[in-house]
Chain A
Amino acid sequence: MLIKKYLTTAFSILNGKESTLRTLLSAKFLENFFSTLKFYFFIFVNVISVLIIILNVLDTIKTFFMAYKLRSTLLLENGLNVADIFSPDIFFLELDEFVFFNQMFSFIYIFLWKFLFAILMIVPILLIVAYSTLLERKVLSAAQRRRGPNKVGVKGSAQPLIDGVKLILKEIIIPVQSEN
């Protein structure tokens, strides 16, 4: 009896008019949705992952430079390779002052590198955001059996960039007679 009651309630939930599960899991919706989506989805996974690989390559370059800098500072602190110092002013400093100066210099250097790579990383992130909007429009169009953006570029691939250009070039309108 209990099992029967449970089954009937579950069935009524699945078939109820206001059930959200019904729309999410109904076979017709899923079939329409996924059959049109396979193609687009894997293309965009590839595009986004390629951009992220660029990000990671930037990061490895950064770590490479950091390690190089660290090695050179260690060598200098141990008193080796003093001849490698570039500017002659440092050469006449005493050892304690020299180590202090070197630490200060490496701190500023590392900070500058971090700052530079933070700025460099913004560009790929902006690109990912732009292409995610294209992915969204394509997915929603596939869910509603439309085509989505397919005019600009190859199958709509330049759409987000052109959208961004349009937004930048757009005139900012502030009504004159409005309260401020």
Chain B
Amino acid sequence: MLLLWFIIPTSKYGNILQFNYELLALFCVSVLGSISILLAGWSSNSKYAFLGGVRAGAQMISYELVLGLLVLIVMTVTGTTQIIDIVEFQDLNGPIFLFLPLETILFLILIVAETNRAPFDFAEAESELVSGYNTEYSGLPFAFFFIAEYGNILYMSLLTSLLFFGGWSTNLIFFSFEENFFLESFILFTKTTFIYFFFLWLRAALPRYRYDQLMTLCWKVFLPIVLVSLVI
């Protein structure tokens, strides 16, 4: 179940699995990740792990909804569900964050909440639960959870750079280069590393949120904004 994470991200730049409903399939698989965390917390028979798993499950499911609606906005703007076509659209018209600045900022906040990172890291809040859903795991099983978490973060930052910041398109805002294989991959992963850096910046700077504030933030602030912008 955890290795599914590593097959799907490759479909961006590698296209191992290439079919018509790529983005929808991506979200189907990313739901499985929250289920795995929920099961891991529940099955380890410890109250800290159980609480952490339940928190992570509720948080990830509620934020998955808003994230899916945001991706739906991108799909309606570009008119495709394939990531390659979305990047080609941005290559022609310029990156999407120029058209949808509000949605981009929302997406950046939402992926932090989706991947259970600070300031939204309730799944493994060290001061409240010992270390959340992976308290009872050590050695290789813990390594799997660790890899899954960081793979998830990198995958989310890759998705953001593809959907909103132009992906591998060499047509930058002020100047454009000739299409070059190595340059394209370098551009894409400079963007991805900058977004990963944004994650770390938030972790270094901000204190943790409160859990009820988090859920009201999701259901009463983000969801109406996204629904209204979807209608517009």
Interface majority SS (helix, strand, loop, mixed), chain A? helix
Which stretch from B78-86, B87-95, B97-105, B143-151 is at the chain A interface? B143-151
A49 B7 Cβ-Cβ under 8 A: no
Per-residue CB contact flags for chain A residues 96-113 toward chain B (1 = under 8 Å, else 0) read 000000000000000000
Assess the B139–A55 pair: CB atoms within 8 A. Answer: no
Contacts of A178 in B (CB 8 A): 45
Number of interface residues of B (CB under 8 A): 41
A157-180 vs B, CB cutoff 8 Å, 1 = contact: the mask equals: 000000010011011110000111
Size of chain A's interface in residues, with CB distance under 8 A?
A: 45
A123-180 residues with Cβ-Cβ distance < 8 A to B are 125-126, 128-129, 132-133, 135-136, 139-140, 143-144, 164, 167-168, 170-173, 178-180
B150-186 to A contact mask, C-beta < 8 Å, 1/0: 1101100000000000000000000000000110011
- Inter-chain contact A140/B204, CB cutoff 8 Å: yes
**CB neighbours of A170 from chain B (8 A):** 138-140
Q: Is the CB of A45 within 8 A of B204?
A: no
Residues from chain B with a CB closer than 8 A to the CB of A55 are: 10, 13-14, 185
**Inter-subunit contact B45/A118 (CB<8 Å):** no
Q: Is the beta-carbon distance between B140 and A20 smaller than 8 angstroms?
A: no
Q: Which of A56, A121, A167, A172 contacts B6 (CB 8 A)?
A: A121
**Shortest Cβ gap from A75 to chain B (Å):** 24
Shortest beta-carbon distance, A167 to chain B, in Å?
Answer: 4
Q: Chain B contact residues: over half helix, strand or loop, or mixed?
A: helix
- Knowing A168-B140, A171-B139, A179-B45, the reply to whether A143 touches B15 (Cβ < 8 A) is no
Interface segment among B52-60, B63-71, B123-131, B193-201: the answer is: B193-201
Residue of A nearest to B140 (CB): A168
Interface residues of A (CB under 8 A from B): 20, 23-24, 29, 33, 41, 44-45, 48-49, 52-53, 55-56, 58-60, 62, 114, 117-118, 121-122, 125-126, 128-129, 132-133, 135-136, 139-140, 143-144, 164, 167-168, 170-173, 178-180
